[in-house]
Structure 1
Amino acid sequence: MKKEKGKRVAAIIGIVAILSLYLISLLISIFASDKYPGLFMASVFLTVIIPIMIYCLVAVYKRVHRKNDDTDESNNI
């Protein structure tokens, strides 16, 4: 149950981050049109990078916090 909650929180953070990127990009395009192309490309880039970063963080968390069954077996011998 704990793992599912962590994944859900990470997914919600990712969704909020991506939506805020596009909202900020839209607002800047309305009010500051000369800087819009670069900021839009940054938003597109981060749309790809944010899910990858979240996936990597969840994978590292799983790797660090897993139960180490191999050491338990070697201690019993």
Structure 2
Amino acid sequence: MKKVKQILAILGIVVLLSLYVITLVCAIVDNSNTMRMFQASIVASFIIPVLIWAYGFIYRLIKKSSKDAEEAAKKNKESLKEKANLSTK
């Protein structure tokens, strides 16, 4: 899992760096379409990191809630066993 996170982090860095390079090139080159590409690159430079953060945040919430559900199920199972043992005595 750690290796996958490292690969995804490196991939994210490469994507962001390429966006910054594209933004710089679009700002320097004078063409009819460069203004739209420049605007798209600027927007993507903000949107992509926010989406990456949001995906990670949601993943942590889901992972935490699944652990909480497992712990609650384990406690519930233990309490049912205790009640069963008390009723047989």
Instruction: Give the TM-score band, short-chain normalised.
Output: 0.5 to 0.7
Q: Is the 8 A contact 2:20 2:45 kept in 1?
A: no
**Whole-Å separation in 2 of the counterparts to 1:3 and 1:71:** 28
Q: Relative contact order (alpha carbons < 8 A, sep ≥ 6): 1 or 2 greater?
A: 1
Deviation string 1:3-22 (CA, Å, 9 cap, x unpaired) is: 6862x444322211112223
| Structure 2 length-normalised TM | 0.59
1:37 to 35, 38, 57: 35
Unaligned runs of 5+ in 1: none
| Structure 1 length-normalised TM | 0.66
Which residues in structure 2 correspond to 1:1-77 (within 5 Å)? 2=1, 6=5, 8-25=6-23, 26=25, 30=29, 33-66=31-64, 67=67, 68-77=70-79
**Whole-Å separation in 1 of the counterparts to 2:34 and 2:56:** 33
C-alpha root-mean-square deviation of aligned residues, in Å? 2.8
Q: Taking every aligned residue pair, what percent have the same amino acid on both sides?
A: 27
Unaligned runs of 5+ in 2: 80-89
